[in-house]
Amino acid sequence: MVKVYYDNEVSMDILKDKTVAVIGYGSQGEAQAKNMRDSGVHVILGLRPEGNSWKRAKQDGFEVYTIEEAVQKADIVHILIPDLVQPKVYKEKIEPHLREGQALGFSHGFNIHYKQIVPPEYVDVIMVAPKSPGRRVRETYLEGFGVPALIAVHQDYTGHAKELALAMAKAIGATRAGVIETTFKDETESDLIGEQLVLVGGLIELIKKGFEVLVELGYPPELAYFEACNEAKLIMDLIYERGFTGMLKAVSDTAKYGGLTVGPKVIDDHVKENMRKYAERVRSGEFAKEWISKADRAKEVLEELMKPIEEHEIEKVGRFIRKMSGLEK
């Protein structure tokens, strides 16, 4: 079993009298900046003056500076802007202001692992990667807990890089749930493979295709939505809390028999073959090459990819069901 770091064995002393500049105030930036501030860390924000985040971060009571100023004021520069934006911002606004002994922090190893950012040898390079969307990073912290996270050290100039990564993980609330040390390579590849095959790509397609089959067979879309999507959350909660076995114990014997005999025939070896193929594309760097080649028009590319999803019938029914459940107005 891997070593897991918990609250009682990690100290935040190394962050005393230090300033953490969080670059970016999006999903992870906002959550991590707020958690670290609430843990007593001096956090400042480095943002674009013309951006929407500037106003939001100010309203949330943060000291906000341009990215260049924040780098100059900081001991730790924690880069939480979109992966494809990071290399340009790093080259133009961060690298020219770096000082000996500072630390660069990341929540995903993409740009270090694929060498889109190559920091000078006189800084520490660390990762604190919460294994959760940003929103849960904040919500669980406010509930008095945290989300699990990975830490990694790419470069240890000061000799204190790991201590620093652990301290930041504690400040984010992650050591309450447990923190595991890994490498930039393993975090990057496993994160990309997980989100493509299962978490984002796999789940959307499984739910969408299940919904489509039910609707094609003539069942009302609302019923199809309950079966293929809404209840998926409730079943996943059971798996999250009790494991597969616990979930199976909670569903009917009919669901157990049908699920366990038909499931492997639907998600069959062809699906696993596809998974292997696309995991290999991540490991070979082919996926990164493709994604990096879109850097100049990432926004348009994503809009194009999201359009058919946004217009899919499942999204219309979803809005209706969420209203019905009081989740949306």
Ligand X SMILES: NC(=O)c1ccc[n+]([C@@H]2O[C@H](COP(=O)([O-])OP(=O)(O)OC[C@H]3O[C@@H](n4cnc5c(N)ncnc54)[C@H](O)[C@@H]3O)[C@@H](O)[C@H]2O)c1
Ligand Y SMILES: CC(C)(O)[C@@H](O)C(=O)O
* In contact, 67 and 48? CB cutoff 8 Å: yes
28 is in an annotated binding site: yes
Within 13 Å and on the Cβ side, how many CA atoms surround 144?
0
**Nearest approach, Cβ of 202 to ligand X (angstroms)?**
17
Indicate the residue among 46 and 134 with the shorter CB distance to ligand Y: 134
Indicate the residue among 189 and 191 with the shorter CB distance to ligand Y: 191
The answer to whether 27 contacts ligand X (rule: CB under 6 A) is: yes
48 is in an annotated binding site: yes
Measured distance CA(168)–CA(79) in Å, rounded:
13
Binds ligand X by CB under 6 A, chosen from 80, 104, 151, 164? 80
- Of 112-151, binders to ligand Y (CB under 6 A) are 133
| Stretch of 11-19, 23-31, 217-225, 242-250 contacting ligand X, by CB under 6 A | 23-31
Q: How many residues bind ligand Y (CB under 6 A)?
A: 5
* In contact, 226 and 321? CB cutoff 8 Å: yes
Query: What token pair was written down for 167?
Result: 């301290």
The answer to whether 199 contacts ligand Y (rule: CB under 6 A) is: yes
Binds ligand X by CB under 6 A, chosen from 129, 169, 180, 288? 129
Phi, psi for 124 (deg, rounded to 5): -80, 145
| Stretch of 56-64, 195-203, 235-243, 265-273 contacting ligand Y, by CB under 6 A | 195-203
Active site residue 108: yes
**Nearest approach, Cβ of 6 to ligand Y (angstroms)?**
22
29 is in an annotated binding site: no
The answer to whether 108 contacts ligand X (rule: CB under 6 A) is: yes
What is the number of the residue whose Cβ is closest to ligand Y?
A: 195
Indicate the residue among 35 and 102 with the shorter CB distance to ligand Y: 35
Nearest to 11 by CA among 202, 230, 168: 168
The answer to whether 70 contacts ligand X (rule: CB under 6 A) is: no
* In contact, 104 and 119? CB cutoff 8 Å: yes
The alpha-helical segments, DSSP class H, found in the chain are 27-38, 52-59, 67-73, 86-89, 110-113, 134-142, 161-172, 174-177, 184-194, 201-216, 221-225, 231-250, 253-266, 269-283, 286-292, 298-310, 313-324
Catalytic residue among 78, 108, 113, 154: 108
Measured distance CA(30)–CA(291) in Å, rounded:
25
**Nearest approach, Cβ of 154 to ligand X (angstroms)?**
14
202 is in an annotated binding site: no
3-state secondary structure of 64: strand
196 is in an annotated binding site: no
Indicate the residue among 195 and 313 with the shorter CB distance to ligand Y: 195
**C-alpha dihedral sign at 191, 194, 197, 199:** negative
Measured distance CA(112)–CA(87) in Å, rounded:
10
The answer to whether 239 contacts ligand X (rule: CB under 6 A) is: no
Centre a 10 Å sphere on the Cβ of residue 120 and count the other Cβ atoms it contains: 14
- Contact partners, residue 306, CB within 8 Å, separation at least 6: none
Binds ligand Y by CB under 6 A, chosen from 198, 200, 223, 267? 200
Binding site for NADP(+): what residues are annotated? Answer: 25-28, 48, 53, 134
Footprint of ligand X (CB under 6 A): 24-29, 47-48, 51, 53, 80-83, 85, 89, 107-108, 129-130, 133-134
Catalogue the active-site residues: 108
Binding site: what residues are annotated? Answer: 25-28, 48, 53, 134, 191, 195, 227, 231, 252
Binding site for substrate: what residues are annotated? Answer: 252
Binding site for Mg(2+): what residues are annotated? Answer: 191, 195, 227, 231
